[in-house]
Amino acid sequence: MVKRLHLGRASEAGVLAASLAADGFEGPRTVLEGEFGFLKVFCTKWDEAELTRGLGEEFVVSTTVLKRYPCHATAHAAVRAVGDLQAEHGFRGPEVEAITVTGTERMVERHNILEPADLMLAQYSIPFCVALALHREARDPESFDETALRDLQIRALCRRVRLVQEPGGEHTGMASKVTIGLADGRHLETPTGNGMLEPGELEDKFLRLTRRALGEPGASALFERLQRLENEGNLQWLSAQL
C-alpha cells in the first residue's frame, strides 16, 4: 500500500523544505555530499555535478510521463490497445473469447496474475486490467473497485488472457502486441504504444481523481489555478481547500 504514497510524500517534503527555506530555516550544508551525507550512505558511486545540473532551468514535473490508467505501468500499453480495438471494431466484452498480450519476461514473470485475491493485486495483474478495460472505462479510478473484483464476466475474461514473452528479450517494459479473438471468428491484432497519458489529457485525469471530493466546478477551478502555481506567493490556500 505504501507505493501509492511515494510521489505524494516526496512532493509534500519538497513543499515543506522550500517553505522552511523561504522563512530562513537552515540545515547542514553537506547533507547530500558530505562525509556522512546521503550519497555516501546510499550510493556506491555518484556524480556531484548532477545535483545541480539544470537547477532553476529544467523542471522534471514538466517532462514526467504520467499514468493514463489507475493500474501498474506495465499494463497501460495493453489496456490502451484493447480499448482502441474495441472502439474501432465495435465489439463488447462478452464477445471476446481470447486475448494474447506479447511483452517482456518481467511482465510474464510478475504480472501474469489470473486470480487476483484482492484489489491491489488486480491492479498489478495485466490480464485483469485488460479484461476490465473491455467491460468498464479503464481511465476512471472508480472502475477499479470491489465490484470489479467480484464481476464474474471480468474474472472469466481475465483467465482467458495469455501473456507471452516477446522473442528477442526485453524492450520497453510494456506490451508490444495485442491479439483479440472474437466469438464470431474475427481475430484483431495491433501493435501497442506506451499507453501513458498524452498531451491534453491531464485535465481529464485530474478531474476523474478529484471531482468526487471537490465537485466538478471545484475540481476544474483547482486545476486551472494549479496550472499557474509558479505565480502563487504561498500554498496555504491549497491545504485549506483540500
Q: Which residue has the cell 545540473?
A: 53
The C-alpha atoms of residue 62 and residue 193 are separated, in whole angstroms, by 21
Sorting pLDDT into bands at 50, 70 and 90, what band is 172?
low
Predicted pLDDT of residue 148:
97
The pLDDT of residue 9 is above 80: yes
**What integer pLDDT is reported at residue 173 of this predicted model?**
73
| Torsion angle of C-alpha atoms 135, 140, 145, 148, degrees rounded to 10 | 0
Q: Where are the beta strands (DSSP E) in the chain?
A: 96-103, 161-165, 177-182, 187-191
Output the DSSP codes for 4-22.
GGHHHHHHHHHHHHHHHHH
The larger pLDDT score, comparing residue 199 to residue 139, is at 139
How many angstroms separate the CA atoms of 225 and 240, rounded? 14
66-82 tens-digit pLDDT: 899 999 999 999 999 99
Kindly tell me the sign of the dihedral angle through the C-alpha atoms of 88, 93, 97, 101.
positive
Q: Starting from the edge strand earliest in sequence, which strands make up the sheet with 161-165, in order?
A: 161-165, 96-103, 177-182, 187-191
Q: What is the pTM of this model?
A: 0.81
CA-to-CA distance for 112 and 163, rounded, in angstroms? 7
Question: pLDDT digit string (tens) for 118-128?
Answer: 999 999 999 99
Contact predicate 144/119, CB 8 Å: yes
